[in-house]
Chains A and B, each alone.
Chain A
Amino acid sequence: MESAFIFGQVGNLTECLGTGWSVEDTYAWAIGYESTIALPLPADNETYRTRFTVHGLTNAGIRDAQRLIVKAGDAVLGRFAVAGRTTVEVALPPALTAGQTYIVLTLLHPDALRPCDFLDSPDTRPLTICFHSAGLVQDRPEATPETQTDLPVGIVAGNFSALQLTRIVSALPSLRGKFKIHYIDTHPHLEETAHTRPPDTLSSAVFCWLQHGTGRASTTQALRAALPADCGVRRFGIPELHAFWPFLGADPRAVREADRYIPARYRFGDRIAMGLTQHAMNDDLLYMIYNGHAEQEMPDLNALLAIDVLNWKRLDARCDVKLASALESSLRRERPFMAPTIPGPALLRMLAERLLDTPAIRDVASHADLLLELDDIMSGYVGRREELPIHPSVAAHFQLSWWREDQTYRWYGNRWGFRDYILDYIRWAAWRP
């Protein structure tokens, strides 16, 4: 919707109302036989419709609806019978709107009622229809799957992170109406997801961003084979980080609990915590013992990070999108990882920024504009709500600038600090998604 207007003293249409109105705080009654309104227009050459949200004054059995005729000059734009709250819509004649800053509409409403005649009310005004709001809507073809079939296709293939990238990129205004961006999950066989896309999606793709190291090899092979020869394929990877969580380990309690916790109640194991499960004691003491063990068994964190960095470089070598150096420089001031295998918004943004530098996209949109739009759509974005708490000593060691003493972490519907998390983990406490 291009413009939203509210009737009433508090609204933004008061100065646009001509004759035949009784304006109240948050609405305006059309009174008598005729009202006029000069509806603001954006002075361009687009075609518009306007929608009024209204309700009619009725007297059951005598006047069950109010008639409303909307005119512009001599042209009748619409006729309605208004009873309960409803929205009426008329197309505005382009000849009267092109280049104009307003259009004068005449509203005919010949069925006025005086509330004092049939209600316990002293109101003697000849009321007809109560106008609450109006909207100016530009006529543009709906972006339905049918109308989008002519658009060039972009493919993003991989796991949930690829889906997130698809959503981010699809929301960028500069690409809207220029590409149909399609996500393909590479875990099932390609033919199993065929029903989710029009038949010629793959054969008409102009670019494909393919996530490396996830999904079925047979699916990615089939996908590549189905793409046209001139489709630009760029491989990207989702790096992992283990140095921030040095006690990761497989916990035998981590099993699927059907209908409740999938894949497990606590999906990331902690080998220090799992050694304390038999300790029945109060929170303070248990946490003190955990920390004692953690400090004793703390590995060389710099060495762990060096392994992570090495793995990022290896991933870079297999991908077209390079991340290792940017990750290294941003790791302490941004938050690229929410959990060892879960990218945060900072990493998704890094990836999107690099992937958007794709020839087919550069042809239709400025990269600088796309980056600004990326900043805007990702403002305040927190991504998946699966954040694995970081041990305070680890945060201190790496001097994580975003970390606070009272740092809390999102976990589905919950927010908890490291201490609460680890105590609940030790006790394998139930939590609610």
Chain B
Amino acid sequence: MTRKVLIYANCQGEELMLNGRFVPSLADDIAFEWIPAHKVALEDWETLYGPDFMRDVVVLWEQTEAGPIGPHRAALYQRLPPGCEIVKFSPMTALFMWPFSGNDPRIAVDPDRYPWPDSMAAVLSTERLGDDALFDKYMELTASRMPDLERRLRLDAARWRATDEMADVKVADWIEGTFRTTKLFHTSGHITAAASGPMFKQLLQRTQGIDRRRAGSAIAETDALLRHHQGQDFECVPIHPLVAERLGLTWYDPDALYRWHGHEWTFKEYILRYIRWAPYLD
């Protein structure tokens, strides 16, 4: 019988699921499945996630969420087989690294083109300037409006600690101790393999429902599996150079190329395209 590890989480759960599916020691008889907590619809509980889907679930890796239990989480609990082990983990977010994420009315009309808003770039969307002048204006505007990033970090840390309170695998101290020396985020909600790997290993460590010897092998294999992997990099929002400087990001490369669907752009190229809401290729 194939036993199932079910992951209930936002898109970070998909990373954990794929790590599980491709780690050799677990490939034979442990199946990893993911329910996207941010997209699940009520009818999905009857159609996609009915008794057949839930039958072989022996472990639930559940991403914690601040606030009361919502209808989807309640539906999940109702359907878990008796005796199912639950290991809870925190989500990873980093709003503080993209301090201008806020408001851009274009997203309401065209939600998928550039879904990570930059309110300063939106302010410049009515300008009709050449590349250099427009970029200079963006840099000037953002430099003058740069908020207190340490305060933003504390706000994020408070959020991490709130979800950590409910979690077996916690992230607050680890992120605070790591983000300056290792790139953990591609966007405020998408993580690199340097973030998903440690989370995956900790979950394996905590899970009693997976044979200890095999879990140990899988933990040992994870680093090799992910050593060249970029994580959730299909949309990478570039880091503002001033943010990198003020936060002391040692890994920051001002000439770095950032993947955006089928393209790779510098910070400047991305910002200009964002301001102009330019189309791109997948």
Please say whether chains A and B are actual partners in one complex. Answer: yes
A-side residues, CB < 8 A to B, are 1, 3-6, 10-12, 26-27, 40, 51, 53, 87, 132-135, 137, 167-168, 171, 259-260, 376-383, 411, 413-416, 420, 429-433
Judge whether A6 and B122 touch: CB under 8 Å: yes
Q: Least Cβ distance of B99 to chain A in Å? A: 11
Judge whether B22 and A260 touch: CB under 8 Å: yes
A378 to B273, CA, bound (A): 12
Q: CB within 8 A of A132: which of B103, B231, B264, B279?
A: B103
Q: A378-B281, A431-B228, A432-B18 are in contact. Are A10 and B105 (CB under 8 A)?
A: no
A346 to B60, CA, bound (A): 47
Q: A381-B281, A429-B224, A430-B22 are in contact. Are A4 and B265 (CB under 8 A)?
A: no
A27 to B102, CA, bound (A): 11
Tell whether B246 is near chain A: CB-to-CB under 8 Å. Answer: no
Judge whether A6 and B119 touch: CB under 8 Å: yes
Judge whether B109 and A1 touch: CB under 8 Å: yes
Chain B residues whose CB sits within 8 angstroms of the CB of A133 once the complex forms:
103-105, 122
Q: Least Cβ distance of A383 to chain B in Å? A: 7
Judge whether B281 and A167 touch: CB under 8 Å: yes
In the complex formed, the residue of B with least CB distance to A412 is B229
Chain A residues whose CB sits within 8 angstroms of the CB of B120 once the complex forms:
10
Judge whether A383 and B262 touch: CB under 8 Å: yes
Contact with A along B87-110 (1 / 0, CB 8 A): 000000000000000111110111
Judge whether B109 and A3 touch: CB under 8 Å: no
Q: A3-B126, A12-B123, A381-B262 are in contact. Are A413 and B229 (CB under 8 A)?
A: yes
Chain B residues whose CB sits within 8 angstroms of the CB of A12 once the complex forms:
123-124, 126
In the complex formed, the residue of A with least CB distance to B31 is A259
Judge whether A260 and B105 touch: CB under 8 Å: no
Q: Which 3 A-B pairs have the closest CB atoms?
A: A135-B105, A133-B105, A380-B263
A381 to B282, CA, bound (A): 9
Q: CB within 8 A of B233: which of A6, A383, A413?
A: A413
Q: CB within 8 A of B126: which of A4, A381, A413?
A: A4
Most central of B19, B27, B141, B263 by chain A CB within 10 Å: B263
Chain B residues whose CB sits within 8 angstroms of the CB of A382 once the complex forms:
259, 262-264
Judge whether B105 and A53 touch: CB under 8 Å: yes
In the complex formed, the residue of A with least CB distance to B108 is A87
In the complex formed, the residue of A with least CB distance to B231 is A413
Judge whether B281 and A432 touch: CB under 8 Å: no
Judge whether A51 and B279 touch: CB under 8 Å: no
Q: List 11 A-B contacts (CB under 8 A).
A: A1-B106, A4-B125, A11-B123, A51-B109, A53-B105, A133-B122, A377-B281, A380-B269, A430-B22, A432-B22, A433-B18
A406 to B243, CA, bound (A): 28
Chain A residues whose CB sits within 8 angstroms of the CB of B267 once the complex forms:
none
A1 to B22, CA, bound (A): 43
Q: Least Cβ distance of A264 to chain B in Å? A: 14
Most central of B18, B105, B122 by chain A CB within 10 Å: B105
Chain A residues whose CB sits within 8 angstroms of the CB of B19 once the complex forms:
432
A218 to B224, CA, bound (A): 46
Chain B residues whose CB sits within 8 angstroms of the CB of A260 once the complex forms:
21-22, 27
Chain A residues whose CB sits within 8 angstroms of the CB of B265 once the complex forms:
379-380
Chain A residues whose CB sits within 8 angstroms of the CB of B122 once the complex forms:
4, 6, 133
Tell whether B23 is near chain A: CB-to-CB under 8 Å. Answer: yes
Q: Least Cβ distance of B259 to chain A in Å? A: 8
Judge whether A431 and B225 touch: CB under 8 Å: yes
A87 to B277, CA, bound (A): 20
Judge whether B224 and A51 touch: CB under 8 Å: no
Q: Least Cβ distance of B110 to chain A in Å? A: 7
A306 to B44, CA, bound (A): 58
Chain B residues whose CB sits within 8 angstroms of the CB of A414 once the complex forms:
228-230
Tell whether B51 is near chain A: CB-to-CB under 8 Å. Answer: no
Chain B residues whose CB sits within 8 angstroms of the CB of A11 once the complex forms:
119, 123
Q: Least Cβ distance of A308 to chain B in Å? A: 26
